[in-house]
Amino acid sequence: QVQLVNSGGGLVQAGGSLALSCAASGRTFTMAVLAWVRQAPGKEREFVAALKWSDSRPYYADSVTGRFTISRDNAKDTVYLQMNNLKPEDTAVYYCAAAKYYSSIYYHEYDYWGQGTQVTVSS
């Protein structure tokens, strides 16, 4: 099993920045992909970004490309999401998620989830 713990989040004005982190523990050697997924009130969960564990290659949703950056700290099994130029539309609960298979980059199916953290962007 893998445990994921979200941290970060908060309230920020439009145009501001915020950083999220996700610490993984347990059987982390089984992870192929670690991703960020968000869910706004009344909306379905939306893919934000993902990182292939083997080579740290990043993938981004079109809505965040150029504004968000996903990265990792191998020594601590931690993944980060740096969010710049935030917009009110980015307001959501942000979850980190891990998958056993690389195909999750395309199909967005995950095996483990963090608890989520609220990000609120005011206009």
34 token code pair: 């670690």
Q: What is the mean pLDDT of residues 11-16?
A: 98
Reported as a pLDDT band with limits 50, 70 and 90, residue 105 is: confident
Q: How does pLDDT run across 49-100, given as a tens digit for each residue?
A: 999 988 889 999 999 999 999 999 878 889 999 999 999 999 999 999 999 9
CA-atom Rg of the chain in angstroms:
13
Quickly count: other Cβ atoms within 10 Å of residue 86's Cβ.
22
Query: According to the model, what pLDDT value does residue 30 have?
Result: 84
What is the rounded distance in angstroms from the CA atom of residue 9 to the CA atom of residue 85?
15
Q: What is the mean pLDDT of residues 11-32?
A: 94
Reported as a pLDDT band with limits 50, 70 and 90, residue 107 is: confident
Query: According to the model, what pLDDT value does residue 75 have?
Result: 80
pLDDT at 108 exceeding the cut of 90: no
Q: What angle do CA 16, 78, 53 make, to 5 degrees?
A: 110
Contact criterion met (CB below 8 Å) for 119 and 18 = yes
What is the rounded distance in angstroms from the CA atom of residue 28 to the CA atom of residue 17?
29
> What element of type H or E holds 51?
strand 46-52
